[in-house]
C-alpha cells in the first residue's frame, strides 16, 4: 500500500474495528482529541504494561509513581513552562490556516529524506545482493547533496530557534519557497511564539479562584516527589521513578490522527544520577530504550536516532528515537539529559532543599537527571500502523490482517466451535472458561469459520482454537496462527501451553 493510502486505511480500520473514535463524535468531534474503543483500550493497556514491566518490574532501582494532573502553579514557573513552553507559529494569509513554523521546515527536510529513501530503493534493486547501503549513502552525489542540504537547513533552524530569531525562521521558510499545503500560496505572516499550556481555575468564585494549568508533561510530578520517594523508599543513587499518565498541550498543528493530540498519555522515567555521570547514563538509556523498541519486532530498519540541534532549556544532550510512521520518520520517544535544572529550579522556587547525601562521595548535592519519555498514543500508532496489512493469498483472494505483536494484542485467542450444534459450543465455552484466567480470550460462533478467521485477523488476534467433531473423540483442537494461517492439531493442554509461551512477556523481552 502507498503510504498515504495506508494512513487512510489506518484511520478507517481503527474506527471500524473499535480501536479509536473521534471524541464526542455525535457533536462532530473535537479537534485532535480521541477516544479509545473496546479494542483500542486493551491494546493501549497492554502497551502501557509492556513499558511498565520493562522499566519498573525488571529494574530493582526503578519505582513507580502516580502524581496528580493538577499541580501547584509555581511548578510551571520553576519548570520553565510558563516562560519557554512555546511553539513558533505562522499563519497563511490566504487559507487563514495556522502552522508550526518549525514543522513546515522539518516537513521540507522530510521530503529530502524521502528522496534519499527512493534513491536507496532504486539502487538496491539495481545492484541486488552486491548493494552496500552504507557506501551508497556516503558516496552517491545526489544522496550526499540531499543529506547536506537537509542537515544545513536543520542546523540553521535549530540556531534561529535557540536564539529566538523568529525573523530568520520566516526568512528560511521564504528562501525554501515553502507553500501552504492548503492554498499553495507563499503569503505568510510573521512568526510568533504561542504558549501550549491549557489554563484552568481552582476555587468556587471567580475572584478567589487560583489559576492552574493542566500538566503539559508528567515529569514535573516526579521531580516534586523526588525527596518523598527517595526517603520513604530508602533509594540510593542511581535510581529512577517511572510514571504513566495524561498530559495536555494546546497544539497549534493538530493533525495526523493520534500522532499529535491535545490530550495524550506519556510514559516517563526520570533517572537520578550523580553529577558527572550523565554521559554514560545517556548512552545507557539510548541503547536500552532502542532495544526495548526492537523487542516488539516491528523491524530495526524502522527506527533511527535523531540528535537535537536545538536543546530545550533544561538539557545538555537530547535525542529522539524516531519511527517510520506512514507519513515518514517522526519522533516516538525522547531521551534527555536534563542536568540538575529541574531539581535545582524547584529548590529555588519552593525554598526546600532537594538534595541527596551521597555516602560514597560524603557530600550533599542536587542529583542530575536522565529522562526517557514516550507518548503512549504515538506508540499505539506505530504498532497499529505497522501491523495493518492487506495481503493477497495464494488463491488470489485478499485478507486484511493486523499483525499486532502477540504480547500486546487485545485478544490473545478466539475459541470457535466449527458448528453451532453437536455439543461443540459447550466444549468451546469450557475452553474459554479455562483460558480466561490467564489471558484475554473471546468466543465466536457466528458465520462460517473462514469468515470468523478473517474477523479475528482484522482485530489482530494472533491465535484461533477451533473445536470440531474430532474434538469429541480425542480432545484435540486445531490451533490456527494468524500470520502464517497454518493450523496444527494439538491436545487442548498442548494448545494452552503453546499459547502461554507465545504471549509471555518474557518470550518477547528477554
Q: Locate all alpha helices (DSSP H) within 128-187, ordered by sequence.
A: 133-139, 141-162, 166-175
Cα–Cα dist 404/388, whole Å: 8
Q: Which is nearer to ligand GAP, 48 or 481 (CB)?
A: 48
Q: Locate all alpha helices (DSSP H) within 233-324, ordered by sequence.
A: 278-295
Q: Which is nearer to ligand GAP, 11 or 120 (CB)?
A: 11
Q: Which is nearer to ligand GAP, 103 or 219 (CB)?
A: 219
- Nearest alpha carbon to residue 160 among 151, 152, 169: 169
> Which of 103-123 are b and which e, b meaning 16 or more Cβ less than 10 Å from the residue's Cβ?
bbbbebbbebbeebeebbeeb
Q: Which is nearer to ligand GAP, 249 or 403 (CB)?
A: 249
Beta bridge partners of 330: 323
The DSSP call for residue 301 is G
Q: Whole-number minimum distance, CB 279 to ligand GAP, in Å?
A: 19
For residue 213, what are the contacts with CB-CB under 8 A and spacing of at least 6?
Answer: 71, 73, 76, 81, 197, 198, 199, 200
Angle at 443 between CA 437 and CA 446, to 5 degrees: 175
Q: Whole-number minimum distance, CB 100 to ligand GAP, in Å?
A: 11
- Cell 486493551, residue located: 42
Q: Whole-number minimum distance, CB 377 to ligand GAP, in Å?
A: 5
Q: Which is nearer to ligand GAP, 342 or 468 (CB)?
A: 342
Q: Whole-number minimum distance, CB 248 to ligand GAP, in Å?
A: 9
Q: Which is nearer to ligand GAP, 149 or 304 (CB)?
A: 304
Alpha carbon distances (Å) from 391 to 13, 98, 297: 15, 39, 19
Q: Which is nearer to ligand GAP, 342 or 457 (CB)?
A: 342
Q: Whole-number minimum distance, CB 197 to ligand GAP, in Å?
A: 12
Q: Whole-number minimum distance, CB 449 to ligand GAP, in Å?
A: 40
Q: Whole-number minimum distance, CB 298 to ligand GAP, in Å?
A: 15
- Residues forming the site for ligand GAP (CB under 6 A): 217, 219, 249, 251, 260-261, 264, 266, 268, 331-334, 371, 373-375, 377-378
Q: Whole-number minimum distance, CB 32 to ligand GAP, in Å?
A: 8
Q: Which is nearer to ligand GAP, 91 or 265 (CB)?
A: 265
Cα–Cα dist 187/97, whole Å: 11
Q: Which is nearer to ligand GAP, 229 or 374 (CB)?
A: 374
Alpha carbon distances (Å) from 308 to 264, 316, 339, 344: 23, 10, 16, 23
Minimal CB distance to ligand GAP: which residue? 375
Here the cell at position 216 is: 503539559
- Cell 499550556, residue located: 197
Cα–Cα dist 122/119, whole Å: 5
- Nearest alpha carbon to residue 220 among 100, 88, 95, 369: 369
Here the cell at position 294 is: 526492537
Q: Whole-number minimum distance, CB 322 to ligand GAP, in Å?
A: 9
Amino acid at each position: 500500500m502507498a503510504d498515504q493510502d495506508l494512513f487512510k486505511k489506518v484511520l478507517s480500520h481503527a474506527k471500524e474495528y473499535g480501536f479509536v473514535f473521534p471524541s464526542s463524535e455525535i457533536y462532530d468531534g473535537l479537534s485532535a482529541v480521541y477516544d479509545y474503543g473496546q479494542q483500542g483500550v486493551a491494546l493501549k493497556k497492554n502497551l502501557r504494561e509492556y513499558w511498565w514491566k520493562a522499566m519498573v518490574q525488571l529494574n530493582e532501582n526503578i519505582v513507580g509513581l502516580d502524581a496528580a494532573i493538577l499541580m501547584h502553579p509555581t511548578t510551571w514557573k520553576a519548570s520553565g513552562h510558563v516562560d519557554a513552553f512555546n511553539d513558533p507559529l505562522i499563519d497563511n494569509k490566504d487559507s487563514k490556516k495556522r502552522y508550526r513554523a518549525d514543522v513546515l521546515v522539518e516537513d521540507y527536510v522530510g521530503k529530502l529524506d524521502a528522496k534519499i529513501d527512493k534513491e536507496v530503493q532504486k539502487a538496491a534493486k539495481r545492484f541486488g545482493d552486491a548493494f552496500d547501503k552504507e557506501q551508497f549513502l556516503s558516496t552517491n552525489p545526489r544522496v550526499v547533496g540531499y543529506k547536506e542540504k537537509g542537515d544545513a537547513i536543520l542546523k540553521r533552524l535549530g540556531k534561529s530557534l535557540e536564539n529566538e530569531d523568529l525573523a530568520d525562521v520566516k526568512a528560511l521558510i521564504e528562501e525554501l519557497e515553502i507553500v501552504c499545503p492548503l492554498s499553495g500560496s507563499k503569503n505568510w505572516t510573521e512568526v510568533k511564539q504561542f504558549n501550549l499550556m491549557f489554563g484552568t481555575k481552582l476555587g468556587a468564585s471567580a475572584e478567589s479562584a487560583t489559576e492552574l494549568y493542566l500538566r503539559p508533561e508528567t515529569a514535573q510530578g516526579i521531580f516534586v516527589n523526588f525527596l518523598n520517594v527517595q526517603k520513604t523508599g530508602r533509594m540510593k543513587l542511581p535510581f529512577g521513578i517511572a510514571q504513566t499518565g495524561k498530559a495536555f498541550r494546546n497544539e497549534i498543528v493538530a493533525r495526523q490522527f493520534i500522532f499529535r493530540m491535545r490530550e495524550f498519555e506519556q510514559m516517563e522515567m526520570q533517572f537520578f544520577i550523580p553529577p558527572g555521570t550523565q554521559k554514560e547514563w545517556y548512552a545507557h538509556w539510548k541503547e536500552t530504550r532502542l532495544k526495548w523498541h526492537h523487542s516488539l519486532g516491528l523491524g530495526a530498519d524502522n527506527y533511527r536516532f535523531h540528535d537535537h540541534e536545538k536543546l530545550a532549556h533544561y538539557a545538555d544532550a537530547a535525542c529522539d528515537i524516531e519511527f517510520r510512521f506512514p507519513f515518514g520518520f517522526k519522533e516516538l520517544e525522547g531521551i534527555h539529559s536534563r542536568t540538575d535544572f529541574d531539581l535545582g529550579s524547584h529548590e529555588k522556587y519552593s525554598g526546600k532543599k532537594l538534595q541527596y547525601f551521597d555516602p560514597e562521595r560524603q557530600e550533599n548535592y542536587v542529583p542530575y537527571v536522565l529522562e526517557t519519555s514516550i507518548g503512549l498514543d504515538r506508540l499505539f500508532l506505530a504498532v497499529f500502523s505497522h501491523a495493518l496489512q492487506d495481503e493477497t493469498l495464494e488463491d488470489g483472494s485478499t485478507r486484511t490482517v493486523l499483525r499486532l505483536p502477540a504480547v500486546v494484542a487485545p485478544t490473545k485467542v478466539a475459541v470457535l466451535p466449527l458448528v453451532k450444534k453437536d455439543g461443540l459450543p459447550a466444549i468451546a465455552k469450557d475452553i474459554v472458561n479455562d483460558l480466561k484466567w490467564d489471558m484475554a480470550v473471546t468466543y465466536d460462533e457466528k458465520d462460517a469459520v473462514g469468515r470468523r478467521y478473517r474477523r479475528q485477523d482484522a482485530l489482530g488476534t494472533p491465535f484461533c482454537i477451533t473445536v470440531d467433531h474430532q474434538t469429541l473423540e480425542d480432545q484435540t483442537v486445531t490451533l490456527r496462527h494468524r500470520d502464517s494461517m497454518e493450523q496444527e492439531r494439538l491436545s487442548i493442554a498442548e494448545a494452552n501451553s503453546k499459547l502461554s509461551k507465545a504471549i509471555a512477556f518474557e518470550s518477547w523481552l528477554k
